[in-house]
């Protein structure tokens, strides 16, 4: 197995390669040779110890590798042992990606395989259950991420967003939708900011702590946060439900810049109709820019977030039948800024 490096947006020119080696044979192996190659460059080293039968060791190569360029790197790690009785279990090949950090607004709906590949799951209690992508359990039967319960152990499982580039002093807003499988199984979820995609790098205080989730329909959670220093950060979702509960679902995660309802209109050409409306509103965007992290949010006149979702196309319909009567503010966020519209629910 490989322990490092892992895909990230902070890979540099001097990365350690760490692997796990196990002797599956019946005899000890004295000072075995190991090697790794990255994009054709090979490094061979000798482990100065004896590995007994059935023993497993962790080894970090002294030769570092350069992964500083954005893109994919193929790493091949293997043992060199002439009398190997089973040469089919001595090689590991895997891909490490150095990718560009996401700007804000950031949106994750679990529909994009490339975006999903940049998530990192950490099963902190090392049980068989952890987070996984579900293809039909999300909002409107879309993809989402789900934690399946453990009947005998409490949950302690994390998933981390891709890396986000955040600026000190900027007021950010985290939104996501969640639901439980049953209102009789109270689920627990905390969300932390982290400086790396692992538990040890998570900040102690959570952005939000939902310690009694019983809603069986997708429910919006919203929490403001900020950072004290410019840099790369991750959003970590930690399920910590008690043992023998049930499933927990999360969908439509977004991070936007928080602001007042009087933000400047950037003129994307939004039309909202009918207006006033009773049950549904149709939204058309004349200057729609695909793949720009378009996020549509609806607020009441007090600035309370009511609805938030990614916009994948120029036309969309939103069910407002459960909205209270009154005036609402629509904001379309993308990488260029935000546009504001209003509508009336009768």
Query: Which CATH number is correct for 270-345, 2.60.40.3080, 3.30.300.30, 2.40.160.20, 1.20.1630.10?
Result: 2.60.40.3080
Q: What is the pLDDT of residues 112-135, one digit of tens each?
A: 888 888 888 888 878 888 899 998
Mean pLDDT of 231-235: 94
Percent of the chain with pLDDT over 70: 92
Query: Do 2-98 and 270-345 come out as alike in CATH topology?
Result: yes
Query: What ranges do the domains of the chain cover?
Result: 2-98, 106-257, 270-345
pLDDT > 50? residue 310: yes
**pLDDT bracket for residue 3 (50, 70, 90):** confident
pLDDT > 50? residue 34: yes
Contact 116, 31 (CB under 8 A): no
Measured distance CA(254)–CA(110) in Å, rounded:
12
> What pLDDT score does 292 carry?
54
CATH fold for domain 2-98: Immunoglobulin-like (2.60.40)
Contact 232, 296 (CB under 8 A): no
Measured distance CA(56)–CA(321) in Å, rounded:
60
Query: Which CATH number is correct for 106-257, 2.60.120.200, 3.40.640.10, 1.10.10.10, 1.10.3720.10?
Result: 2.60.120.200
Using CA of residue 140, residue 144, residue 148, residue 154, what is the dihedral sign? Answer: negative
> What pLDDT score does 289 carry?
65
> What pLDDT score does 1 carry?
65
pLDDT > 90? residue 33: yes
> What pLDDT score does 261 carry?
41
Mean pLDDT of 262-271: 63
pLDDT > 90? residue 103: no
Mean pLDDT taken over the chain: 87
Q: What is the pLDDT of residues 146-185, one digit of tens each?
A: 998 888 889 899 999 999 999 998 999 998 999 999 888 8
Measured distance CA(335)–CA(53) in Å, rounded:
56
> What pLDDT score does 87 carry?
65
**pLDDT bracket for residue 262 (50, 70, 90):** very low
């Amino acid at each position: 197995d490989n322990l490092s490096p892992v895909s990230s947006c902070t890979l540099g020119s001097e990365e350690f390669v760490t692997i796990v080696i196990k002797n599956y044979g019946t005899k000890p192996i004295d000072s075995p040779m190991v090697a790794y190659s990255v994009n054709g460059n090979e490094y061979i080293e000798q482990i100065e110890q004896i590995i007994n039968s059935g023993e497993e060791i962790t080894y970090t190569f002294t030769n570092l590798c350069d992964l500083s360029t954005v893109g994919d790197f193929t790493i091949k790690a293997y043992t060199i042992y002439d009398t190997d009785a089973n040469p089919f279990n001595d090689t590991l090949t895997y891909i490490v990606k150095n990718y560009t950090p996401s700007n804000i607004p950031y949106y994750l709906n679990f529909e994009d395989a490339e975006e999903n590949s940049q998530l990192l799951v950490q099963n902190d209690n090392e049980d068989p259950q952890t987070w996984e992508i579900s293809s039909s359990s999300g909002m409107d039967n879309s993809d989402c991420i789900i934690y399946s319960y453990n009947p005998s152990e409490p949950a302690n499982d994390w998933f981390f967003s891709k890396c986000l580039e955040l600026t000190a002093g900027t007021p950010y807003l985290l939104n996501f939708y969640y639901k439980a499988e049953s209102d009789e199984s109270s689920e627990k979820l905390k969300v932390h900011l982290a400086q790396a995609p692992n538990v040890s790098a998570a900040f102690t205080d959570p952005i939000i702590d939902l310690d009694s989730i019983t809603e069986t329909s997708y429910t919006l959670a919203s929490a403001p946060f900020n950072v004290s220093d410019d840099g790369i950060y991750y959003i970590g979702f930690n399920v910590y439900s008690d043992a023998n509960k049930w499933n927990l679902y999360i969908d439509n995660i977004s991070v936007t810049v928080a602001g007042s309802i009087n933000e400047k209109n950037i003129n994307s050409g939004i039309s909202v109709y009918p207006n006033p409306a009773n049950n549904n509103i149709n939204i058309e965007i004349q200057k729609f820019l695909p793949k720009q992290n378009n996020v549509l949010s609806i607020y009441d006149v007090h600035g309370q977030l009511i609805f938030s979702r990614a916009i994948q196309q120029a036309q969309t319909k939103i069910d407002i039948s459960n909205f209270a009567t009154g005036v609402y503010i629509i904001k379309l966020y993308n990488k260029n800024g935000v546009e504001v519209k209003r509508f009336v629910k009768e």
